[in-house]
A and B are shown apart, each in its own frame.
Chain A
Protein backbone atom coordinates (compact mmCIF):
# COMPACT_ATOMS: atom_id res chain seq x y z
CA UNK A 1 0.00 0.00 0.00
CA UNK A 2 2.87 2.37 0.85
CA UNK A 3 4.62 1.67 -2.43
CA UNK A 4 1.41 2.13 -4.33
CA UNK A 5 0.85 5.49 -2.62
CA UNK A 6 4.42 6.54 -3.50
CA UNK A 7 3.78 5.69 -7.15
CA UNK A 8 0.48 7.57 -7.14
CA UNK A 9 2.14 10.73 -5.81
CA UNK A 10 4.90 10.39 -8.40
CA UNK A 11 2.63 9.86 -11.39
CA UNK A 12 -0.35 11.95 -10.35
CA UNK A 13 0.82 14.84 -8.16
CA UNK A 14 -2.04 16.28 -6.12
CA UNK A 15 -3.31 19.84 -6.21
CA UNK A 16 -1.11 22.34 -4.38
CA UNK A 17 -1.89 23.53 -0.87
CA UNK A 18 0.28 26.38 0.37
CA UNK A 19 2.29 26.31 3.56
CA UNK A 20 2.41 29.99 2.76
CA UNK A 21 5.65 31.86 3.34
CA UNK A 22 6.96 35.36 3.70
CA UNK A 23 9.88 36.87 1.77
CA UNK A 24 12.73 35.04 3.51
CA UNK A 25 11.95 31.85 1.61
CA UNK A 26 11.83 33.55 -1.73
CA UNK A 27 15.09 35.44 -1.71
CA UNK A 28 17.33 32.40 -2.14
CA UNK A 29 18.14 31.02 -5.57
CA UNK A 30 21.16 28.99 -6.69
CA UNK A 31 21.01 30.95 -9.96
CA UNK A 32 23.32 33.64 -8.56
CA UNK A 33 26.07 31.08 -7.91
CA UNK A 34 25.44 29.52 -11.33
CA UNK A 35 25.92 32.84 -13.15
CA UNK A 36 29.22 33.52 -11.33
CA UNK A 37 30.42 29.98 -12.06
CA UNK A 38 29.51 30.38 -15.72
CA UNK A 39 31.61 33.55 -15.87
CA UNK A 40 34.53 31.57 -14.43
CA UNK A 41 34.05 28.84 -17.04
CA UNK A 42 33.90 31.44 -19.82
CA UNK A 43 37.07 33.25 -18.61
CA UNK A 44 38.88 29.91 -18.30
CA UNK A 45 38.03 29.08 -21.93
CA UNK A 46 39.16 32.51 -23.12
CA UNK A 47 42.46 32.21 -21.24
CA UNK A 48 43.13 28.76 -22.70
CA UNK A 49 42.41 30.11 -26.21
CA UNK A 50 45.07 32.81 -25.74
CA UNK A 51 47.75 30.42 -24.51
CA UNK A 52 51.07 31.09 -26.28
CA UNK A 53 50.04 34.49 -27.63
CA UNK A 54 52.45 36.98 -26.08
CA UNK A 55 51.32 40.09 -27.95
CA UNK A 56 50.55 43.15 -25.87
CA UNK A 57 46.85 42.93 -26.76
CA UNK A 58 46.72 39.28 -25.69
CA UNK A 59 48.55 39.98 -22.42
CA UNK A 60 46.11 42.79 -21.71
CA UNK A 61 43.10 40.52 -22.40
CA UNK A 62 44.59 37.75 -20.29
CA UNK A 63 45.04 39.99 -17.26
CA UNK A 64 41.46 41.21 -17.61
CA UNK A 65 40.14 37.65 -17.89
CA UNK A 66 42.17 36.63 -14.85
CA UNK A 67 40.81 39.52 -12.81
CA UNK A 68 37.22 38.61 -13.70
CA UNK A 69 37.85 34.92 -13.02
CA UNK A 70 39.25 35.72 -9.54
CA UNK A 71 36.33 37.94 -8.69
CA UNK A 72 33.59 35.64 -10.01
CA UNK A 73 35.07 32.51 -8.41
CA UNK A 74 35.02 34.31 -5.07
CA UNK A 75 31.45 35.47 -5.68
CA UNK A 76 30.31 31.95 -6.59
CA UNK A 77 31.79 30.67 -3.32
CA UNK A 78 30.09 33.39 -1.28
CA UNK A 79 26.72 32.71 -2.90
CA UNK A 80 27.04 28.98 -2.24
CA UNK A 81 28.02 29.51 1.39
CA UNK A 82 25.01 31.79 1.99
CA UNK A 83 22.70 29.21 0.48
CA UNK A 84 24.30 26.41 2.47
CA UNK A 85 24.35 28.11 5.87
CA UNK A 86 21.24 30.34 5.68
CA UNK A 87 18.71 28.49 3.55
CA UNK A 88 19.25 24.80 4.24
CA UNK A 89 17.96 23.39 7.53
CA UNK A 90 18.49 20.09 9.42
CA UNK A 91 15.25 18.66 8.00
CA UNK A 92 16.66 19.08 4.50
CA UNK A 93 19.81 17.21 5.50
CA UNK A 94 17.71 14.25 6.60
CA UNK A 95 16.17 14.06 3.15
CA UNK A 96 19.42 14.81 1.27
CA UNK A 97 22.19 13.21 3.33
CA UNK A 98 24.84 14.19 0.73
CA UNK A 99 23.97 17.89 1.09
CA UNK A 100 27.01 18.89 3.17
CA UNK A 101 29.37 16.92 0.97
CA UNK A 102 27.94 18.48 -2.19
CA UNK A 103 28.34 22.02 -0.85
CA UNK A 104 31.79 21.35 0.60
CA UNK A 105 33.04 20.01 -2.73
CA UNK A 106 31.43 22.88 -4.66
CA UNK A 107 33.06 25.45 -2.35
CA UNK A 108 36.42 23.72 -2.79
CA UNK A 109 35.96 23.81 -6.56
CA UNK A 110 35.39 27.58 -6.34
CA UNK A 111 38.82 27.87 -4.72
CA UNK A 112 40.38 25.57 -7.32
CA UNK A 113 39.02 27.47 -10.33
CA UNK A 114 40.16 30.74 -8.80
CA UNK A 115 43.76 29.57 -8.37
CA UNK A 116 44.04 27.45 -11.52
CA UNK A 117 43.15 27.77 -15.19
CA UNK A 118 41.33 24.45 -15.27
CA UNK A 119 38.55 23.69 -17.72
CA UNK A 120 37.94 20.40 -15.96
CA UNK A 121 37.40 21.99 -12.54
CA UNK A 122 35.25 24.79 -14.00
CA UNK A 123 32.99 22.17 -15.57
CA UNK A 124 32.91 20.16 -12.34
CA UNK A 125 31.82 23.31 -10.53
CA UNK A 126 28.96 23.79 -12.99
CA UNK A 127 27.89 20.17 -12.45
CA UNK A 128 27.97 20.64 -8.66
CA UNK A 129 25.81 23.76 -8.95
CA UNK A 130 23.33 21.89 -11.13
CA UNK A 131 23.07 19.25 -8.39
CA UNK A 132 22.50 21.99 -5.80
CA UNK A 133 19.88 23.58 -8.05
CA UNK A 134 18.01 20.28 -8.21
CA UNK A 135 18.13 19.73 -4.43
CA UNK A 136 17.17 23.35 -3.73
CA UNK A 137 14.04 23.37 -5.87
CA UNK A 138 13.06 19.89 -4.68
CA UNK A 139 13.05 21.20 -1.08
CA UNK A 140 10.62 23.88 -2.22
CA UNK A 141 8.40 21.31 -3.91
CA UNK A 142 8.81 23.06 -7.23
CA UNK A 143 9.98 21.73 -10.56
CA UNK A 144 12.33 24.40 -11.90
CA UNK A 145 14.38 23.23 -14.88
CA UNK A 146 18.11 23.94 -14.80
CA UNK A 147 19.49 26.12 -17.57
CA UNK A 148 22.65 28.07 -18.36
CA UNK A 149 23.07 31.47 -19.97
CA UNK A 150 25.61 30.30 -22.53
Chain B
Protein backbone atom coordinates (compact mmCIF):
# COMPACT_ATOMS: atom_id res chain seq x y z
CA UNK B 1 0.00 0.00 0.00
CA UNK B 2 1.32 3.41 -0.97
CA UNK B 3 1.45 5.92 1.86
CA UNK B 4 -0.99 8.79 1.46
CA UNK B 5 0.15 12.40 1.75
CA UNK B 6 -1.53 13.95 4.82
CA UNK B 7 -3.44 17.23 4.76
CA UNK B 8 -1.29 20.05 6.11
CA UNK B 9 -1.64 20.90 9.80
CA UNK B 10 -0.85 24.15 11.62
CA UNK B 11 2.78 23.18 12.02
CA UNK B 12 3.14 22.67 8.27
CA UNK B 13 1.41 25.99 7.62
CA UNK B 14 3.83 27.84 9.90
CA UNK B 15 6.81 26.07 8.39
CA UNK B 16 5.58 27.25 5.00
CA UNK B 17 5.31 30.84 6.28
CA UNK B 18 8.85 30.52 7.61
CA UNK B 19 9.99 29.26 4.16
CA UNK B 20 10.89 25.86 5.51
CA UNK B 21 8.30 24.41 3.15
CA UNK B 22 7.75 25.18 -0.53
CA UNK B 23 4.39 25.04 -2.20
CA UNK B 24 3.80 23.43 -5.60
CA UNK B 25 0.72 22.67 -7.72
CA UNK B 26 0.42 19.20 -9.23
CA UNK B 27 -0.11 18.96 -12.99
CA UNK B 28 -1.00 15.70 -14.78
CA UNK B 29 -2.02 12.36 -13.36
CA UNK B 30 0.87 9.98 -12.84
CA UNK B 31 0.55 10.20 -9.03
CA UNK B 32 -3.17 9.33 -8.92
CA UNK B 33 -4.63 8.28 -6.49
CA UNK B 34 -2.11 9.81 -4.04
CA UNK B 35 -2.10 13.23 -5.72
CA UNK B 36 -4.67 14.48 -8.18
CA UNK B 37 -3.98 17.08 -10.84
CA UNK B 38 -4.72 20.47 -9.30
CA UNK B 39 -3.74 19.42 -5.76
CA UNK B 40 -1.26 21.67 -4.04
CA UNK B 41 1.55 20.19 -1.97
CA UNK B 42 4.18 21.37 0.48
CA UNK B 43 7.68 19.95 0.35
CA UNK B 44 10.66 20.25 2.65
CA UNK B 45 13.67 21.53 0.68
CA UNK B 46 16.04 20.63 3.54
CA UNK B 47 14.72 17.11 4.03
CA UNK B 48 17.77 15.49 2.47
CA UNK B 49 20.48 17.82 3.78
CA UNK B 50 21.59 15.22 6.33
CA UNK B 51 19.79 12.02 5.37
CA UNK B 52 19.20 10.16 2.14
CA UNK B 53 15.81 9.67 0.55
CA UNK B 54 14.26 6.34 1.49
CA UNK B 55 11.95 4.06 -0.49
CA UNK B 56 8.34 5.22 -0.21
CA UNK B 57 9.16 8.94 0.07
CA UNK B 58 7.30 11.21 -2.33
CA UNK B 59 9.82 13.71 -3.68
CA UNK B 60 10.11 16.75 -5.92
CA UNK B 61 12.97 16.34 -8.39
CA UNK B 62 14.26 17.81 -11.62
CA UNK B 63 13.66 15.73 -14.73
CA UNK B 64 17.20 14.50 -15.58
CA UNK B 65 16.73 15.22 -19.31
CA UNK B 66 14.67 18.41 -18.95
CA UNK B 67 16.11 20.54 -16.14
CA UNK B 68 13.31 23.10 -16.53
CA UNK B 69 10.74 20.48 -15.57
CA UNK B 70 10.10 19.68 -11.91
CA UNK B 71 8.56 16.28 -11.22
CA UNK B 72 6.71 14.77 -8.30
CA UNK B 73 7.40 11.03 -7.97
CA UNK B 74 7.82 8.29 -5.38
CA UNK B 75 11.20 6.78 -4.45
CA UNK B 76 11.26 3.10 -5.34
CA UNK B 77 14.87 2.23 -4.43
CA UNK B 78 18.03 4.08 -3.42
CA UNK B 79 21.38 2.97 -4.86
CA UNK B 80 24.65 2.80 -2.90
CA UNK B 81 25.84 6.01 -4.56
CA UNK B 82 22.69 7.91 -3.54
CA UNK B 83 20.93 7.84 -6.89
CA UNK B 84 17.21 7.13 -6.65
CA UNK B 85 14.87 5.09 -8.82
CA UNK B 86 11.67 7.13 -9.03
CA UNK B 87 8.32 5.56 -9.86
CA UNK B 88 4.78 6.83 -10.46
CA UNK B 89 1.88 5.81 -8.21
CA UNK B 90 -0.12 5.43 -11.44
CA UNK B 91 2.56 3.44 -13.32
CA UNK B 92 0.33 2.72 -16.34
CA UNK B 93 0.60 6.33 -17.46
CA UNK B 94 3.63 7.74 -15.63
CA UNK B 95 7.01 8.72 -17.04
CA UNK B 96 9.68 7.91 -14.44
CA UNK B 97 12.99 6.08 -13.88
CA UNK B 98 11.76 3.25 -16.11
CA UNK B 99 12.19 5.76 -18.92
CA UNK B 100 14.86 8.23 -17.79
CA UNK B 101 16.86 5.99 -15.43
CA UNK B 102 18.01 6.68 -11.86
CA UNK B 103 18.07 10.28 -10.64
CA UNK B 104 21.17 11.63 -8.89
CA UNK B 105 20.83 13.02 -5.37
CA UNK B 106 21.51 16.65 -6.36
CA UNK B 107 18.47 16.65 -8.65
CA UNK B 108 16.17 15.79 -5.76
CA UNK B 109 14.79 19.01 -4.33
CA UNK B 110 13.02 17.71 -1.27
CA UNK B 111 10.42 15.52 0.32
CA UNK B 112 6.67 16.13 0.00
CA UNK B 113 5.31 16.53 3.52
CA UNK B 114 1.66 17.46 3.11
CA UNK B 115 -1.16 18.51 0.82
CA UNK B 116 -2.09 22.18 0.98
CA UNK B 117 -5.46 23.91 0.57
Is the CB–CB distance between B93 and A15 below 8 Å? no
Mostly helix, strand, loop or mixed at chain A's interface?
Answer: mixed
Counting CB contacts under 8 A, is B38 at the interface? yes
Please judge, given known A-B contacts A5-B8, A5-B117, A95-B36, whether A20 and B24 are in contact too, CB under 8 Å: no
Q: B94 near A19 (CB under 8 angstroms)?
A: yes
Given A22-B94, A22-B95, A9:B28 Cβ within 8 A? no
- Say whether B38 contacts A19, CB under 8 Å: no
Cα(A28)–Cα(B80), bound, Å: 41
Q: How far is the CA of A21 from the CA of B89 in the complex (A)?
A: 11
User: A1-29 toward B: CB 8 Å interface, digit per residue (1/0)?
Assistant: 11001101110011111111110110000
Contact of A19 among B7, B13, B37, B117 (CB under 8 A): B37
Tell me the residues in window 44-83 of chain A with beta carbons closer than 8 Å to chain B beta carbons: none
Which residues of B are interface residues toward A (Cβ below 8 A)? 7-8, 10, 13, 23-33, 35-41, 60, 63, 69-73, 88, 90, 92-96, 116-117
